[in-house]
Every structure is written in C-alpha cells, then in structure tokens.
Structure 1
Amino acid sequence: MGIRFDGVTVAYDGNVVLDHLDLSVGTGEVMALLGPSGSGKTTALRAVAGFVRPAAGRVYLGDRDVTDLPPYRRGIGMVVQQYALFPHLRVEDNVAFGLKARRVAKPEIRARVAEALEMTGMAAYARRHPRELSGGQQQRVAIARALAIRPGVLLLDEPLSALDARLRSDMLGELARLHRELPDVTILYVTHDQVEALTLADRIAVMNEARVQACGTPRELYRAPANAFTASFVGNANLLPVTVARDGVVFAGAELRTAAAGAPAGARATLCIRPHLVGLGDGPNRLEGTVTEIQWRGATSRLYVDVRGHRVMADLGELREPPAHGETVDLHFAPQDAVLLTAGVTDD
C-alpha cells in the first residue's frame, strides 16, 4: 500500500505549515522526510495518520482517499518519539492494545503479539512493565505494538531522537532488518538526523519552510544536490560563492576547474564540495589558507581553513604531523568532485 499526497496544504490560524505537498511513496518503500524543526515534515506525517485535516488537497493510501477518514479506520501503524506506552500495562498488553481495540479474536491476539515481540527481539520481556525496560527496549515495544496490527503503512515520527548515540545506532540496524523482513510495508520516516535518513531510506524528501526542496535517493541527493539547502542538510558540505567563468569558476580570486554546468559566464553560483573530497597539499584546484581549527575525530581529523574570509572544511585520514593552528596550508580537490549549484543564479 503506497502513500500519495495530492496538493496537501495544512494551515493553523492562517499560518501555512505545509504548502501544496505533492509526493508519492511506493508500496514497500522507505521514504524519509528530512528537515529542520518547523519544516512541515511532522505535519505531513500527521496528515497521513489523520490527526490533522488538510485545508486543501487529498491524502491517498493506495487507491483509497482517506482524507476524511478518522485515524482508527486507516489501518496505519505509528511510532512516536516518546514511545507512548501505557505504564500500568505489561509489555504484552501494550502490544495487544491496538488488536483489542479492533476486536480481534483472543487466540489471534496472542499469536500476533508473540509474532511482533519475536520480530523485535522482545519476546523475553513480555511480562515486564515499561518502567523495567531501557529506552531502547521501550522503543522496540512501541514498534512491536505498531507491527502487531499488520499495517500496510508504518509511520515513524523521530523514533530514535530520545536515545543515546549507541542505542540509536543499534536501533537503526534493527529498523533496517525489519524493513528487509517486511518488504511490503510502506514506511514514512520523519527525522532531522541526516545519518538516519541516509542509512534507512530508499528515497529522501528534503523539506524546508513547508515545502519539499528536493526528492531523490540518498546517493542522488548526496552526490548531486539540487540546491544549497539540500547540500547542507544531506551530509556536510563546503558551499563556496563563485562566479562562473569560461572553463570553470572563480572563488576568492582563484580560478578553479569544475565540470561544465551550463551556467553563463559571469553568473553567480555556489560550488559544493564534500569535506572528505578535499585534500591537504599541492594538487588540482589549489587553495591557500590559514588553519583556524582542528577537530580530531579518531579515524579522521577535520580541518577548518580560512581562505580569504571563507571557511573551508577538509576531512582527512589520520595525520602523523597535523598542521598547527594558524599555519598556512594548501588544500586541493579534483574538478569532478565539485558540484556547481546554479539554481537561481544571477549575472554580475
């Protein structure tokens, strides 16, 4: 069962929080809605769940228009940030809650609860209360409860944001495994964390200011972002203001070679270079600057270099003799590793 937003607009007291959203999610696809707070991503998810009523447009699940249906008639599973488990109920009763509300027969409830707990690795905790579980375990119970009703669509609203870094990493692996085991379940995943989106999603819709800025596979958005906002929100990026020249671009007085982009000479644009593609030392597209900060990150070090008033980041492998703060260094990058962002360019 897929999801389709057809011109969906949501407004509160005249303030538009979702602006004419057109977006389709295929059956069995994981679509991440990625964006900052207030971008409209959670509102889009709530429109699918039936918790908000669009001011315009329609919401479809498969071929069924569900815009006017109450949440309980949509057959959707949902997991939210704070788990929303009932503290007085044992794990097995929390998981059974949705099935009981649907008046499923008791023998089937027992079977489905056991299946969902087994799938999420929580079978051994069926008789415990939520207070006896860790945060990661509580989140697994919330996911089991959503899966127990066997939904065609699973909505995940910032499900890992309350977990620490290690638990978040573990749960990402669990969610990826569940997706492999449930290939027909369509997942709409709301997050502001680019790692979660890049790890889990088949496609990512990048949202900002109530609109979709770009939509594509993680590789497409990372390697060839459509605009500066997408480049900065899907992975880290150096975004350098440049002027288009005949054979490349000019940045901070330096002529740089880049792949052709079709922009007219003299146009202002933005050059996107991922930090891990910037090298230290002499090479093509050399930039000279001053080290302003070094962040050691274990396997890599991030250098922040001031190039004529512009900050350039370089992620480098382990350095035996890293440059010192204030030292003058040369950076370089290959022409094919830079992406020229020409959306909205203007001529000088």
Structure 2
Amino acid sequence: MATAGQSDTGIRFDDVSVAYGRHREHTVLDSFDLTVEPGEVMALLGPSGSGKTTALRVVAGFVQPVSGRVLIGGRDVTGLPPYQRGIGMVVQQYALFPHMKVAENVAFGLKARKTPRAEIAGRIAETLEMTGMAAYADRYPRELSGGQQQRVALARALALRPGVLLLDEPLSALDARLRSGMLTELARLHRELPGMSLLYVTHDQVEALTLADRVAVLDKARLRDCGTPQELYRRPRTAFTASFVGTANLLPVTVCGRAEGGGVEAEFAGRRLRVSVGEGAAAGAGATLCVRPHLIGLGPVGPDPVGPDPGSAVPGPAGASGNTLYGRLTDVQWRGSTHRLYVSVAGHRVMADVRELREPPALGDEVALHFAPEDAVLVPAGLTEDGMRHG
C-alpha cells in the first residue's frame, strides 16, 4: 500500500496552548512542546482531563490553539481546516454511518476528497484486506461486532493514505480479549506502513507500553515526561510518571551521599538504602525512592530484628545481597500467578508482587522485604512537581 512520503509525515507541537472561557481562564493545554518523528508511534498517556485528547484535536484541526503552532511534515497547518491537513482519524465510537455498508463507509472519505472513481474500488479492497474485513464489505455496521466495527473505522482512515494517523482511544469500547487482539493488529499494520506517523491517545498504560515507540505523559494540561516505554517504566524521571506508568512504591527519603562501590545512599525512616540510579541527588536533599512491586522479594525475618515496633524500618545497613525493609503484613491479594502483599513499613504501605505462594504469611506477621540497588530509582524532589518538556 502506497503511503505519503516522509516529507508529509511527522508532527510538531511548537509551544501550543489551548484555553477556554471568556477570558481564556481555563487552560486545557499549557505550553505543549512535542515532536513525533516520521514513522513513529507516539502515545499520549494521562488521566482524564490531562489534555491528551485536546492535543490530538489540535492536530486534527478541530481545536484552535490560543498560541503556538502545529506542523505536519514541516508544514505549518495551524490555520488550515481538517480536510486540508492530510490526516486520518479513528475515534472512540468509530462514527460509522449506519445506513451505509462497510465498503460505502470506507469509500466516504475518498469521495469527499474527490479521489478518482477508478482508484476508489482498489483502495477499498486494499484496506479491507489489510484490516481483515474483506469478507464483510457488503454488511451494515449493525451486523458487525465491536471489534469488526473498529477495523472498518481503521480501514476508512487508512484508505486516505494519510501521512499521519490519529487514534483517540479507539479500543476503549472493546472487551479485554478484543482489545489485546486489536493491539496486535495495530502493531502489524504499522509494520506494513512504516512511513506513517501515529499519534495515539489512551489512558490505558498497557496499550501505551505495547504499541508506542515513545510515550508522552500528560497531567494537568502539561507535558510531564517523554521517553521510550522502557525508559519511563524502568527509569522514571518524575514521581508522577512512576505512579502512572505501571505500579510503583514511592517512599520519601533523604539523600545521604555517594555509596561505596557506586550509587547513592538514602535514608528511609532511619534505615540506609542503596540506589544505583540517582543522578543529581545532593546530600541532605529530600527525594522519592521508586521501586516496582515485582522487583521486591519476600524473606523471613532474620537476625536483623524488627524490634518493639515491627511496622518500622530498623537502623543499620541493608543486607549483603541488597536492601532490606522490615514491616507487618496488612493485606494479601491473590492475582493468579502472583500474590500481592501489602506491608506496613514505618507507617508507609509497601507493595510486593511475589510468585504465587503455597502458604502466604498470615496477616499481622512480621516480614522482610528485599530489593536490589539496581532495581530502585531515586527521583529528585524538584522533578516531582515541575513539568518537563522534551522535543
């Protein structure tokens, strides 16, 4: 399938702001800077009201910014209407015409753009074959499942051969099994159309981590972080990213300084912990220690006693194999292949996902939690509140 050349792809948000109200007092996108490279899949991830759908609609031309520019393929399209921007779009409810058959729905945009009639039939067949819907060309939307309707909406967008494809939570109406299957299909389609840039809006972190080359994390109208899924998950740069991309334990610590053998030492409730990643952490500064639950192991309470208050961390060095915290088990959740343990440590709840236990500890038991220095990240306190911009 022929696609637009690289000169027609790629998206650039150049200091874009969007505000509503008589005096523009309600800011919904604030000084947004982001570049989507040609052929890249960029996911916009964030909670409801974070500004991610607004950003998508700015690219589509449905929302005009109060300041800044939007460029597609290096061309300033800020003032252009949607139909002149060379984009395709798939929205949450698919917006299929109920009185039109599948083939007619796919043809609609082509006819609106006055595509030569001789080309339309070929494009319909091409995109329906690509999306696995060739056998349903003569059906009406009401005769299709939700997943099939989603494929038709995708075929309609692809038939335009856009340089940029916008996806606004297109899988939110599907059940978990269909959603997983469509993620696989979207990844396959992008491999077949490597020149097309995708901007994908979602609040589902699994979708973002599965499909995207990079993920932009938004909160309260601002860009908070941007990086590859692996970077954001393994080495988050803000506490918000750590908490929103995956599940994380975030513990308030005080930086002690450089540790012997490399890394940084930080104190949590009187206990010194070693962290491998803590760039820019100054001794005496407050920070946030991030460690993922599945990287925490469970062990018996050893010679390092819990003391009179088993819900607190204990002074002294961490165990030889890594860091150790002691606490009291407050809750256990069985999750199939794992048990999630909730442990009270110095008044803070710490989560540990351990491989399914035949006999989990009893509630109220004293337990020891272990994690390696290389599995923890220190987030400087200054980065947990300030927005970050990444081109």
Give the counterpart of 1:318 among 356, 374, 380. Answer: 356
- Checking the alignment, whether the CA contact within 8 Å between 1:122 and 1:137 is kept in structure 2 is yes
Unaligned runs of at least 5 residues, structure 1:
none
Q: Deviations over 1:108-148 (max 9, x none)?
A: 11110111111000111111111111111110110000001
CA distance in 2, matches of 1:229, 1:172: 25
| Percent identity over paired residues | 73
Residues 282-291 or 79-88, more deviating = 282-291
- Residue correspondence of structure 1 range 25-174 to structure 2 within 5 A: 25-174=36-185
CA distance in 2, matches of 1:340, 1:223: 11
- Checking the alignment, whether the CA contact within 8 Å between 1:268 and 1:345 is kept in structure 2 is no
Unaligned runs of at least 5 residues, structure 2:
1-8, 260-264, 301-318, 385-391
**Equivalent position amino acid for 1:230 in 2:** T
CA distance in 2, matches of 1:110, 1:324: 66
The 4+ residue runs of structure 1 with deviation greater than 6 A are none
CA distance in 2, matches of 1:16, 1:165: 34
- Checking the alignment, whether the CA contact within 8 Å between 1:226 and 1:343 is kept in structure 2 is no
CA distance in 2, matches of 1:100, 1:2: 25
**Equivalent position amino acid for 1:257 in 2:** R
* Higher-Rg member (1/2): 2
Residues 282-291 or 69-78, more deviating = 282-291
TM-score by length of 1: 0.97
CA distance in 2, matches of 1:305, 1:107: 67
CA distance in 1, matches of 2:63, 2:279: 42
Q: Deviations over 1:12-52 (max 9, x none)?
A: 11211111111111100000010011111111100000000
SS at match of 2:382: strand
- Once the two structures are TM-superposed, the CA of residue 234 in structure 1 deviates from its matched residue by 1.1
- Once the two structures are TM-superposed, the CA of residue 345 in structure 1 deviates from its matched residue by 7.8
- Residue correspondence of structure 1 range 189-338 to structure 2 within 5 A: 189-246=200-257, 247=259, 248-259=265-276, 260-281=278-299, 284-338=322-376
**Change beyond 3 A, Cα 1:121–1:38:** same
Q: Could you say which residue in structure 1 is the equivalent of 2:312?
A: none
CA distance in 1, matches of 2:98, 2:333: 43
**Equivalent position amino acid for 1:252 in 2:** A
SS at match of 1:97: helix
CA distance in 1, matches of 2:340, 2:362: 13
**Equivalent position amino acid for 1:217 in 2:** T
Q: Count matched residues.
A: 346
**Change beyond 3 A, Cα 1:345–1:141:** closer
CA distance in 1, matches of 2:275, 2:85: 50
